[in-house]
Structure 1
Amino acid sequence: MTCVELAAPASEPVSLADVKAHLKIDHTDEDDLLSGLISVARRHVEAETGLTTISRPMRLYLDDWPRDEVIQIASGPVQTLDAVTVYDETGVPVQVSLEDHLLDGVARPARLWLRERPLPGRVLNGIEIDFTAGFGEAAADVPDGLKRAMLLHVAAMFACRGAVTLADQPALVPPGYDRLIAPFCRRRL
């Protein structure tokens, strides 16, 4: 099971202006660096929580249908189911009907049931499920705890900007970060 984003988010959960106000910066000399750090912080919080902050199209690849018929989608919250494609034995894509499907997009992980489930002919990644995930299109839709964690994270990365390049970030996670994201993390036993 592999999940990839099909397009980058149209915006970030925290803006450059938010970060500059948090850091008390009033010049534009490091705007490019700060913008890069915002993106790193978003990707990190999404990886840690399994959540998608700003809505965007995603694709889940499956080798076969699950035995219990319920497909689990780890990246959530899932807003819409957009398409399901199954590849036959010759590699031809077949669109699966979305009629009568059931989607619990807010569950962790999200759950999907399809009435029609043709067998894939391709051994690896024979099933593609396209969906839109995220809290919403705007930063205002993202929970404040996640945005505050990102602000702390950007500040910590900015503080060590001379020692660690943007490509090597995140170099550290600041104190308090884990407590801010804890309510959004899935716990496993």
Structure 2
Amino acid sequence: MTSVLVTPPVSEPVSVDDMRAQLRLSGSQEENLLTEFIEAARAQIETETRRAMIRQGWRFYLEAWPMGRVVTLPIAPVLSVNEITVYDQDGTGTTLDPDDFTLDRGACPGRVRVKLGAGIPTAQLQGLEIDFTAGYGDSAADVPAPMRQSIRLLAAHWFENREAGTDLAMASLPHGLDRLISVNRVLLL
């Protein structure tokens, strides 16, 4: 089972102005660096929590249907399942009809139930692909405040501790970041 980001988010949940306020910076100094820290912090927090913040497209590869034909998707929250493609022995893909599967958005992470008899993969490896959209929405306002705060804390930490070799940079993370991440982490069973 592998998941790949297909369509990255078009915006960030934290703006450069938000970071300037967090760091108490005036002026427009180091705007490019702040942008890079925001992007990197968002990617790190998303990886740690297994949550997508701003709407983004993912592809999930499986070799076969799991027991009960219920697939737990690896990223939360799931907004929609766009397409499920099943491959035969020759590598020819067949797209399932949307009536052949149901998305359970209430579960965290989201789950897809596929009807019995719909699309039986026969390829040996990567027998099926599920394309889905994950995230809280299209804007920063859609992302929960604790998730945005975790980005600000981590980006600010990296901004203030730029030398990787310093004892402070190596020994600590910002106060409270571990708690913000742990309570928002999606558990995989």
SS at match of 2:72: strand
Per-residue CA deviations over 1:117-170 (Å, capped at 9, x if unaligned) read: 322232221201001100001000000001111111111000112x139xxx99
Q: How does 1:80-119 map to 2 (within 5 A)?
A: 80-115=80-115, 116-119=117-120
Aligned length: 185
Higher helix proportion (structure 1 or 2): 2
Q: Distance in 2 between the 1:16 and 1:30 partners?
A: 10
1:45 aligned onto 2:30: no
Conservation of the 8 A alpha-carbon contact between 1:164 and 1:171: no
User: Alpha carbons of 1:187 and 1:94: their partners in 2 closer, same or farther (altered >3 Å)?
Assistant: closer
Conservation of the 8 A alpha-carbon contact between 1:23 and 1:155: yes
Q: Aligned-pair distance for 1:171? A: 9.1
Q: How does 1:7-26 map to 2 (within 5 A)?
A: 7-26=7-26
Question: What TM-score results when the alignment is normalised by the length of structure 2?
Answer: 0.89
Whichever residue aligns with residue 27 of structure 1, its letter is G
Q: Aligned-pair distance for 1:172? A: 5.7
Q: Aligned-pair distance for 1:103? A: 1.1
Whichever residue aligns with residue 32 of structure 1, its letter is N
Q: How does 1:141-160 map to 2 (within 5 A)?
A: 141-160=142-161
Whichever residue aligns with residue 136 of structure 1, its letter is G
Which 5+ residue runs of structure 1 have no aligned equivalent?
A: none
Q: Aligned-pair distance for 1:68? A: 2.0
Q: Distance in 2 between the 1:95 and 1:102 partners?
A: 15
Q: Distance in 1 between the 2:188 and 2:11 partners?
A: 31
Q: Distance in 2 between the 1:179 and 1:48 partners?
A: 12
Structure 2 counterpart of 1:78: 78
SS at match of 2:131: strand
Q: Distance in 1 between the 2:128 and 2:171 partners?
A: 36
Q: Distance in 2 between the 1:106 and 1:39 partners?
A: 28
Structure 1 counterpart of 2:3: 3
Q: Distance in 2 between the 1:45 and 1:31 partners?
A: 21
Structure 2 counterpart of 1:180: 180
SS at match of 1:47: helix
SS at match of 1:99: helix
Question: What TM-score results when the alignment is normalised by the length of structure 1?
Answer: 0.89
SS at match of 1:146: helix
Q: Aligned-pair distance for 1:7? A: 1.4
Structure 2 counterpart of 1:35: 35
Structure 1 counterpart of 2:131: 130
**Where does structure 1 differ by over 3 angstroms across 4 or more consecutive aligned residues?**
169-172, 186-189
Q: Distance in 2 between the 1:31 and 1:111 partners?
A: 40
CA RMSD between the two structures: 2.2
Q: Distance in 2 between the 1:171 and 1:37 partners?
A: 19
1:140 aligned onto 2:129: no
Same amino acid, percent of matched pairs = 37
